[in-house]
Amino acid sequence: MERKIALVTGATSGIGEACARRFAEGGYDLILTGRNEEKLKAVELQARQRGADVTALRFDIRDRKAAQAAVASLTGKWAVVDVLINNAGLALGLDKEYEGDIDDWEAMIDTNIKGLLTMTRLIVPGMVERNSGHVINIGSVAGDAAYAGGNVYCATKSAVKAITDGLRIDVAHTAVRVTNVKPGLVETNFSVVRFHGDQERADNVYKGIRPLTGDDIADVAFYAANAPAHVQIAEVLVLATHQANGTVIDRNHG
């Protein structure tokens, strides 16, 4: 049987890297995207060791022309993407909105919203034409309600929910499925990026609780992608056991 192809954005770390491993183990061939060439090669090697055929595309998801050129370069079997995992995203800062860094805001909006939209626009028309495919957007519990200091990041993940729901409506006449996976506390490099490299501050985010891992979220994405054809996993909220929502966390279980 012909192997399916999954395209994973932001595949060089965290949830994206975990999705690359999980889908490779599950029999998919992979298109991996990321900005860091060295890390991209490392993830590509991991996937190949798990039996996947891989092509890697190095570009910044915020650069629409670069994304267009990268997707246009896909030929042969690589031009047929069965699963698009819009994972590339980040949080920057935890400032009050009226004290926020505008550059941080633009980076989050350009990555979390515009980058996701760009990849959706480039890949989904082919899925609609083939009447087959699956879009998995990595959202967040932060998209359900704002939390202190989360303002713009929460807004971008709320946008991911609305965009995902809107796409599901737009493709309802086809067999294309659309999923929003919304993780809670996941221990990756997410908080290190948010705090601009401050490891101690990042570690405190997970203090007193056993957080989720990127592998946990990759398992959910893989399950959604491999549900029976008549089953559409529309939305999944995934929290650590002692996390109730975006703000209520019992930190006596680390």
User: Band of the pLDDT at 13, cuts 50, 70, 90?
Assistant: very high
Written as one string, the DSSP assignment of 49-112 is: HTT--EEEEE--TT-HHHHHHHHHT--GGGG--SEEEE----------GGG--HHHHHHHIIII
Residue tagged active-site, from 28, 98, 147, 153 = 153
| Contacts of residue 81, Cβ cutoff 8 Å, sequence gap at least 6 | 5, 6, 7, 31, 74, 123, 126, 127, 133
| Contacts of residue 186, Cβ cutoff 8 Å, sequence gap at least 6 | 14, 15, 211, 212, 213, 214, 216, 217
Backbone angles phi, psi at 244, to 5 degrees: -90, -35
Q: What is the C-alpha separation between 77 and 81, in angstroms, rounded?
A: 8
Query: What's the rounded mean pLDDT across residues 230-250?
Result: 96
Choice among 42-56, 67-81, 182-196 with the minimum mean pLDDT: 182-196
Query: What's the rounded mean pLDDT across residues 106-131?
Result: 98
pLDDT at 148 exceeding the cut of 80? yes
Annotation says 28 is catalytic? no
Residue 1: the pLDDT is: 67
User: Band of the pLDDT at 235, cuts 50, 70, 90?
Assistant: very high
What is the pLDDT of the chain when averaged over all its residues? 96
- The string of pLDDT tens digits covering residues 157-207 is 999 999 999 999 999 999 999 999 999 999 988 888 888 888 988 888 999
Residue 254: the pLDDT is: 63
Query: What's the rounded mean pLDDT across residues 136-154?
Result: 97
Residue 225, amino acid: A
